[in-house]
Amino acid sequence: MKRLCLVGVFAALWYGAPVTAEEATAEKLGKLIFADDFNRQEQDEAKEEIGNGWGTNSKSRAGGHKQADLREGALHIYIHETADHAVSVRHDAEFRNGAVQLRFCLENPQDVLGLNFADLKLKSVHAGHLMKVTVSTRAVDIEDLKTGKMELERWKARKAKQPVSEQTRKLLATKRKRFPRKLKVGQWYALLVEIRNDQVRVSIDQAKVGEFSAPGFAHETKRMLRLSVPKQAVVDDLKIFSNDG
């Protein structure tokens, strides 16, 4: 089943409301360090031209095929059939404590949107992976990657397909938590991810879905946000806040 994520009336309400709950919340989130409403178009529709400082892994992992499209004022991310890795749409964002707020829509029951926080200068993990919040139509997952499965030696062992010890299995189970939350396909939701010291809290439509603590969340420099999309997802009105003042 596929349901298109329509804008229309909802967008008018979103922009027309005087003081929305989102705006009231935003004041508490800290200093706005990045915002994108994706209300623009590519100069060349055949090319991937998100602009505003965004980059993707389409060249390195999908033979340069387009995997991100500006359409009807939103960012549509979709994996190309030749890709050998989930689509990664990245933007610099430096903070220790902070928040990411966005609207998203999943068009298929299997679709997933991941918010990956990275520090490429951190060499004790694979590819800078610090932590990840994953939203599917069934649940939200919060995971510490820095002291979990992306820790370099652990990642190398997994890559080499070495057997995982019971001790490691138990340790990894303490690094992630799943919170059931059913979502409808074709419907827009407001997502808020707040990071405060070793705690990550996720809310959908202003209601808390889950909260989880792990040492990796307290990493002093999140330097980059990567939207990780294994299939498809639509994103709009993305804001990043730093709360380090």
Asked if residue 36 binds Ca ion (CB under 5 A), the reply is: no
Tell me how far, at minimum, the Cβ of 95 lies from Ca ion, in Å: 23
Asked if residue 39 binds Ca ion (CB under 5 A), the reply is: yes
Tell me how far, at minimum, the Cβ of 16 lies from Ca ion, in Å: 14
User: What's the token pair of residue 124?
Assistant: 């004790």
* Identity of the residue, 71 or 223, whose beta carbon is nearer to Ca ion in the bound complex: 71
| Of positions 34, 49, 72, 73, contacts Ca ion by CB under 5 A | 73
Using CB under 5 A as the binding rule, the residues of this chain from 125 to 154 that contact Ca ion are: none
Using CB under 5 A as the binding rule, the residues of this chain from 221 to 240 that contact Ca ion are: 236
| Of positions 69, 144, 151, 194, contacts Ca ion by CB under 5 A | 69
Using CB under 5 A as the binding rule, the residues of this chain from 41 to 60 that contact Ca ion are: 42
Tell me how far, at minimum, the Cβ of 70 lies from Ca ion, in Å: 4
Asked if residue 194 binds Ca ion (CB under 5 A), the reply is: no
The Cα angle at residue 208 between residues 218 and 77, in degrees rounded to 5: 75
Only one of the segments 71-79, 94-102, 214-222, 223-231 lies at the binding site for Ca ion (rule: CB under 5 A); that segment is 71-79
The residues that touch Ca ion, with contacts defined as CB under 5 A, are 37-39, 42, 69-71, 73, 236
